[in-house]
Chain A
Amino acid sequence: MPFHEAVRLALATIRTQKLKSFFTVLGVMIGVMFLVAVISVVEGMGRYMEEDFAGKLLGVNTFTVRRSPDINVGNVTEETWREYQRRPRIMPSDVAALRAALPPGTRTAISSETFAYAVTPWARTKQVQAVATDGDYFQIKKYDLQSGRVFSPQEAVLGTPVVVIGTDVAEHFFPNLNPLGREIRIAGIPYTVVGLLEKQGNVFGFSLDRLAIAPYQSPLNRVTNPRGNVDGLIVQGVTEPAMQEALESSREVMRSLRRLGPADPDNFALETSDSALAFFAGLKSKLTIFGAALPAIGLVVGALVIMNIMLVAVAERTREIGVRKSLGARRRDIMLQFLVEAATLSLFGAGLGIVLGLLIAWVTKTVSPLPASVAPWSIGFALVVGAGVGVTAGLYPASRAARLDPIAALRQE
């Protein structure tokens, strides 16, 4: 029997027994539904991490020369912490040496930040994320302004107390006021607002709009780094290979500055978005495995239900099998008929599950801060799983049907 005949037959059987078929595939449907939903949410988080988290917090094709990694997720032993503490700090002299060694076209910016209290005559005291920086900070971070301007090179060199603020800062400290040209006191020192950033949104509930960015030479660096050092130097290559090249030359410069022998480990950190994302990649694979393990239970139950229903179908249709055999159906024809029927049933359940799974992913995305992104492969995967469950569940009933003795089958009432 050709394959499409078997499919047509299976569809006809499902059509005549709609409700029964629906209950039969309930297990598979639920399993696939959660499978698709979990994969979508995990996948969404992954994309979120890569695009928003890494992109917004760290920048594209960017690395930071730091004393120790800023983003420490996962297990950091006490020993490692102690080693971080023993490392020398990054000093402005290091920054100068690094900048001299980097190829032209590479963007750099000093990054020093801390939370500091700010106040204006119109609002209560509140913390802002104070950043003292220079160079190409705004380009690297892709911070666009909605009004005003960034500070000029002259202001940077002179350390003029001017500040570019985020939308949250503007709303809190300058309610219903245009903040441009007004004064905000950060850690007791007045700064003039010259620019207002576009709204950046948040990453994992952490607002990116609480920034107050001032020139590195301004008094702010005494708040961010009272010891006269810097948190780090952000370096952005034009392209990924340029970034890698810059990374290696920075390593050389730092190692020679620190007079490290060939066998000594780096006593500084070159933090890329990859190194920050490496942890999440591990987390993501674990989430995917655990997320898939639970629906797998549903799929196993679904497979057992389908197997049971198929056994009933074989028993109910023993006579039909006898008739088919007497008309020339071979074992493989009967086998194919029941396998395809089981697979079609299961695929039908998988189809319903996919639709519901997408719905769950969409609802999750809409009502919760959890992002969700539908991975096309997850739909393909769910269909393969659905067909696989059906074929697996159908194997035993189908082989029983195929092995029926035609005479006994015909005799059955």
Chain B
Amino acid sequence: MISETQDAPMSTTAERRVVVSQTGAAPSKDWVIVTRGIQRSYDMGGEVVRALRGVDVAIRRNEYVAIMGPSGSGKSTLMNVIGCLDTPNAGEYWLNGQLVSTMKDDELARVRNKEIGFVFQTFNLLPRASALHNVELPLIYAGVSSDERRRRATEALERVQLGDRVHHKPNELSGGQRQRVAIARALVNRPSILLADEPTGNLDSATSAEIMKVFEALAAEGQTVIMVTHEPDIAQHARRVIVLRDGLIANDGPPDTIVPAYVQGH
């Protein structure tokens, strides 16, 4: 894992403005995510819904970012675009130096496999498969040999303190354990970004705290973490908070200023 800077750095507003303005140019290696004016609209039965209306986001490697916003703000759409599950109608999206906004289905699948580790609200583990097999999945699609796969999956499970639960099925695990299996799965292929969508949405507060500790430790180790949440308490853990409203970025900055303002806005 890349870890020259231990103290979870944060890019400055000025730096971001510069990298976002250079339309068409590949950003430097420091910038793991750069979106320039991305738009995404859906045709909902004749009515066009503009979920994203020109979003510029620049995220540097090793940043720990929370994306907030009320429902309908476009945060899920932004997450889908950042996670390469969806492509924007307009604008560019550079992920780890690759222009992904124009990629085709299978190329996106490869990018998801190599660059992104997903953590979902509902865990999304395969119910019939063991924890180990669930963690092995991204490696299967990466074409890793079975011995290597087993070794790396076991290692990843040990990292989230589940070394003794490798052969358990998801229904034999607690909610927190399931989410930790999901985190192990997200990290096993050493992705550029860990993308978590309401990772604590289905967990009680004690377990939530446990999971947030895992994220914090990962961020401290140098893992880029992006987390979508609507809970201010959770967003508070991040080093930087981006607030979306009506498909546009409404606020972007450190949590101690942004989060109280967001809470007041509601």
| Chain A residues proximal to chain B, CB less than 8 Å | 1-2, 5, 12-13, 16, 319-320, 322-333, 406-407, 410
Contacts and interface: CB of A to CB of B under 8 A. Distances in A.
A407 B83 CA distance: 10
B2 interface: no
A406 B85 contact: yes
Nearest to B114: A328
Given A319-B124, A327-B137, 15 more contacts: A2-B140, A2-B143, A5-B140, A16-B128, A324-B137, A326-B112, A326-B118, A326-B124, A327-B141, A328-B110, A328-B113, A328-B141, A328-B189, A330-B109, A330-B110
Contacts of B143: 2
Given A12-B128, A328-B109, A333 B120 contact: no
A173 B25 CA distance: 110
B133 to A, nearest CB: 9
B155 interface: no
A330 B108 CA distance: 9
A327 B85 contact: no
B86 interface: yes
B152 to A, nearest CB: 14
B138 interface: yes
A328 B106 contact: no
Contact of B124 (A2, A12, A407, A410): A410
Contacts of B83: 326
Contacts of B106: 330-332
Interface in B80-99: 80, 83, 85-86
A329 to B, nearest CB: 5
B84 to A, nearest CB: 9
Contacts of B118: 326-327
Contact of A1 (B86, B124, B140): B140
B105 interface: yes
B250 interface: no
Interface range on chain B (Cβ under 8 Å from partner): 20 to 34
B185 interface: yes
Contacts of B140: 1-2, 5
Given A320-B126, A323-B126, A407-B80, A328 B120 contact: no
Name which of B120, B125, B137, B140 has the most chain A CB atoms within 10 A of its CB: B140
A319 B86 CA distance: 16
Contacts of B120: 410
Contact of A329 (B128, B141, B189): B141
Interface string B181-196: 0000100010000000
Interface string B104-144: 01100110111000101000111010000000011011110
A255 to B, nearest CB: 75
Contacts of A410: 85, 120, 124
A117 B68 CA distance: 110
A16 B130 CA distance: 14
Most buried by B among A2, A12, A323: A323
B140 to A, nearest CB: 6
Contacts of A320: 126
A407 B137 contact: no
Contacts of B141: 1, 324, 327-330, 333
Contacts of A2: 140, 143
A89 to B, nearest CB: 81
17 contacts: A1-B141, A323-B125, A323-B137, A324-B137, A324-B141, A326-B83, A326-B85, A327-B113, A327-B138, A328-B113, A328-B189, A329-B109, A330-B105, A331-B105, A331-B106, A331-B109, A333-B109
Nearest to B149: A5
Nearest to B138: A327
Nearest to B105: A331
Contacts of B114: 328
A325 B109 contact: yes
Q: Which of B109, B128, B138, B189 has the most CB of A within 10 A?
A: B109
A54 B14 CA distance: 98
Given A5-B140, A319-B124, A329-B141, A407 B112 contact: no
A316 to B, nearest CB: 11
A410 B80 CA distance: 11
B74 to A, nearest CB: 14
Given A407-B85, A410-B120, A327 B185 contact: yes
A325 B138 CA distance: 10
Contacts of A330: 105-106, 109-110, 141
The 5 A-B residue pairs with the shortest CB-CB distance, nearest first, are: A328-B113, A328-B141, A330-B109, A330-B106, A327-B138
A308 B52 CA distance: 39
Contacts of A326: 83, 85, 112, 118, 124
Contact of B112 (A5, A327, A331, A332): A327
Contacts of B109: 325, 328-331, 333
A326 B196 CA distance: 12
Nearest to B142: A328
B128 A407 contact: no
A324 B141 CA distance: 9
B43 to A, nearest CB: 14
Contacts of B85: 325-326, 406-407, 410
